[in-house]
A and B are shown apart, each in its own frame.
Chain A
């Protein structure tokens, strides 16, 4: 009973146009994910469909259709070696959609095509959840819904523009329901059937080895590493050291984390107020996580390793949010014997010249702090330069750097410094992580990018514990004061680091108006992205629980939540229904007033019959009740004037309403 036109004429030209156009919209983002051979088949089927419509070709018979289904199955299986899962499933659906096109016998077939298109939209989201794709597919959903309306109303006068308007209205009114369901529909942890394994390639993260150039490679990328929102004011750039990994072992060339350290993590003392913040960490496919020096708490699901670094069991493959407190000033106290031993180890034959230099310092004083100061002074006073494009180093990079090239960036300085300290008998280690970041005032959070990656050193001094020493700061204080981005700006202007007086520096660091505008735009966009991440990509079970807690549903049972969801949905439905009925009723006030008048007459036994025009009705009533004739004529004249003559609406409507209100079958016009 759904259709009248399930006849030879189906499908009509417009339906086919709509379906082809909408399918093209929906399938376009899937283009890179479906094998090329299958695209060939699909394009062929589309052309065939068009030819059938243009009466230049014939619909395939049953046997041929089965053959085509087999062809699609074979193509998909050949490419993926399976027919299930995300990739194969989407390719299969795409092929079946194109096949269904050849077999549009009635509106139900066409509807099925649209339903498949909805499915494929979801398929696109499995590959990307960007704002751009979401907006694009919203337009596709609009087109698909308009196509559905056209299919459901065959033979109607609905043209393309009206169909789109109708679909737009439907989608717009569906938004409240979508939001309520999205926020409150119970989420579950994990997936139902498991996820494909190929989903996590191409994530950037910090490696647990530091070879010359490894950090420089990271610092080429302005990808966001993580974002931080502070509860209070953010710390200064020069104090923002985000530790990720501690490197214990050197092979003479590079540094590595080495085998897991197993001594207990020692507690430390601090008299600061804790600094509380939340980190939203971008997936890195690595298990380690940043924390501001020095973390004072361990979030759920993470643990703290020796060296005060955070780690979790599995690599981070989805954006991870965690809350932390840190203490900027600290006192770590004693050192474990195993720790001390490991923090002094050097490969026996490496870096002979560096050892010699360090032993010379040690001969002068046994005070660790003094040796550290001497080493920093050495970097500052000798001809050391900070360079983002250092010369390549050979077999013994520390010696070559310290005595020959003297050009390098953070990892060269950190590596050389720790080598010197260990040679001088001071327990020390390399720490890698991020330093600085860009504060986004528009969103009140700090953005730390891969290019903020940094390496520094920590030395253990008796009576003070582990102390952070950043040798890079001795050479290029701008790096520490202003961050990596400022350094890049200086470099791009051909300035050398560590040489400009403060006034010239701030001038050199100033942005032109265009650069400023660009930066504002970029930060604004990041706020949008961050909000999107927060509410779309990271809206997980925990976030939902937090939201519910904030809404006052702390510890609510599932039943309570389900009924709250039901009540909200019903409320939204009722409001929408009321609003729609109201606007309907309000459409014709003149008619409403006239109908009130008719009801009054009907009570006096003068009912207006279905096809009696207002004038005929007035005449009949006038004959039946000559006493009311003047009043009836007045109302009728006013109404007819409003309806059919070109009168100024508002004042005449007021007149009509007054006349109707005063009309009485007992008294005539009062």
Chain B
């Protein structure tokens, strides 16, 4: 298994001249010919000084990547079809800034950053996600044109143990039928669709004060409680079996939509899959566990 962080060693950094570097070689050759022809000491000195600069810039380019630590950073889950952002943390423990460090992936420049001395910079590598499940971070290279653009130093392909969880693509809202009698709570679950204001009813003890219609009270109409479709302490079961005629992926897609909607509506919801069951609950952790189960469902 690949590591979740590597430090670039001497054997992992390659270097070759760029097109500009080759052009510079031509320039040096022309300078040398002029120096020879005019037998001019200072022209020789200038030519050799620039040749020296080119040679030294190889070392600079190499050092710009050497001992650079490349580590996997956070990668928040996405829904299939969205772009996954793989965080990659570049850590520089040199006393000098590393300038112009470039992340390239599939021959495309993804990011170009300066990494200050003894600091880290996290860059995002965007990858479009297609199917649910785990999406691996594609191999990428770290390269640099530092200091003069005459040479390109690059690392060998870096494949980090870095993956992104991709949830199933949620079905569009209108295609999700109401929880067709599959809810096993006190009463059939209300139609999802958010916090639509549904009307007023007389206030009962225990109603949350923020739902009291204070406007109506102010008009002297007595205490009333605002009712929202979807509000309340109802719990619903979202069931694999409820979408029976559909194929697996379509069911997962609808269940994902149902989880999102139920969470948004503030319901307590449970999820029942062929081999797994999550008791009704709500909140970010529950939502995440449900979506994760849907993403990794193998049926």
Contact = CB atoms under 8 A, between A and B. Distances in A.
Interface of A: 1-2, 4, 86, 107-108, 111-112, 115, 118-119, 121-122, 125-126, 129, 133-134, 137, 141, 145, 148-149, 151-153, 155-158, 166, 170-171, 173-178, 181-182, 185, 187-188, 190-193, 195, 535-540, 569, 573, 576-577, 580-581, 584-585, 587-588, 591, 609-611
15 contacts: A1-B152, A108-B19, A122-B31, A126-B34, A129-B40, A152-B100, A173-B52, A174-B52, A178-B45, A192-B36, A538-B41, A588-B93, A588-B95, A588-B118, A610-B72
Nearest to B99: A156
Contacts of A611: 71, 73, 89
A580 B67 CA distance: 13
Given A125-B43, A192-B33, A153 B146 contact: yes
Contacts of A155: 112
B144 to A, nearest CB: 9
Contacts of B95: 584, 587-588
Contacts of B118: 587-588
Nearest to B23: A115
Interface string B183-213: 0000000000000000000000000000000
Interface stretch (B53-61, B217-225, B280-288): B53-61
B50 interface: yes
A284 B248 CA distance: 99
A577 B147 CA distance: 16
Which 9 A-B residue pairings sit nearest by Cβ, starting from the closest?
A152-B149, A174-B52, A177-B52, A610-B5, A181-B48, A610-B71, A536-B41, A125-B42, A153-B100
B55 A108 contact: no
Contact of A122 (B4, B47, B89, B109): B47
Given A2-B20, A177-B51, A580 B63 contact: yes
Contacts of A581: 63, 66
Contact of B30 (A112, A119, A190): A119
B34 A149 contact: no
B149 A107 contact: yes
B49 A157 contact: no
B38 A573 contact: no
Contact of B56 (A2, A134, A173, A188): A173
A587 to B, nearest CB: 4
A175 B46 CA distance: 10
Contacts of A193: 37
B94 interface: yes
B36 A188 contact: yes
Nearest to B161: A610
A170 B56 contact: yes
Given A4-B109, A125-B43, A192-B37, A115 B27 contact: yes
Contacts of B146: 152-153
A146 B30 CA distance: 22
A526 B214 CA distance: 100
A453 to B, nearest CB: 29
Given A122-B35, A122-B43, A170-B147, A2 B19 contact: yes
Given A126-B40, A610-B89, A118 B46 contact: yes
A540 B39 contact: yes
A157 B99 contact: yes
Nearest to A587: B95
A535 B42 CA distance: 10
Given A171-B53, A580-B59, 9 more contacts: A119-B30, A122-B46, A148-B148, A170-B53, A174-B53, A587-B94, A610-B5, A611-B71, A611-B89
A190 B39 CA distance: 7
Contact of A537 (B35, B36, B41, B49): B41
Given A576-B56, A587-B94, A148 B149 contact: yes
Nearest to A318: B39
A181 B147 contact: no
A156 B114 CA distance: 6
The majority secondary structure among interface residues of chain A is helix
Interface in B111-160: 112, 114, 118, 145-150, 152
A119 B66 contact: no
A610 B72 CA distance: 7
A187 B38 CA distance: 12
B278 to A, nearest CB: 29
Given A1-B107, A609-B4, A111 B37 contact: no
Contacts of B34: 122, 126
Contact of B31 (A86, A118, A158): A118
B229 to A, nearest CB: 43
Nearest to B150: A152
B26 to A, nearest CB: 9
B201 to A, nearest CB: 52
Contacts of B99: 153, 156-158
A119 B72 CA distance: 46
A181 B51 contact: yes
A4 B89 CA distance: 21
A534 B63 CA distance: 38
B24 interface: yes
B59 A145 contact: no
Contacts of A573: 55, 59
B222 to A, nearest CB: 57
A587 B53 CA distance: 24
Nearest to B56: A173
Contact of A178 (B48, B93, B150): B48
B6 to A, nearest CB: 10
A149 B48 contact: no
Given A115-B24, A174-B56, A587-B93, A185 B4 contact: no
Given A2-B19, A174-B52, A141 B46 contact: yes
A625 B97 CA distance: 38
Which of the listed residues B38, B63, B112 has the most CB atoms from chain A within 10 Å of its own CB? B38
Interface string B16-29: 00111001100100
A126 B34 CA distance: 9
Contacts of A536: 41-42, 45
A195 B38 contact: yes
Contact of A157 (B5, B93, B114): B114
B127 to A, nearest CB: 19
B44 interface: yes
A107 B18 CA distance: 13
B96 to A, nearest CB: 8
A112 B19 CA distance: 12
Nearest to A573: B55
Contacts of B57: 170
Contacts of A141: 46, 49-50
B99 to A, nearest CB: 5
Nearest to A173: B56
Given A122-B46, A177-B52, A170 B67 contact: no
A609 B72 CA distance: 10
A349 B143 CA distance: 93
Contact of A181 (B30, B52, B112, B150): B52
Contacts of A185: 44, 48
Contact of A126 (B38, B48, B109, B114): B38
A175 B93 CA distance: 28
Contacts of A149: 147-148
Contacts of A119: 27, 30-31
B19 A177 contact: no
Contacts of B114: 156-158
B183 to A, nearest CB: 42
A153 B97 CA distance: 13
B148 to A, nearest CB: 5
Given A122-B43, A156-B114, A188-B36, A176 B52 contact: yes
Contacts of A609: 4-5
Nearest to A125: B42
Nearest to A535: B41
B58 to A, nearest CB: 8
B163 to A, nearest CB: 14
A173 B67 CA distance: 21
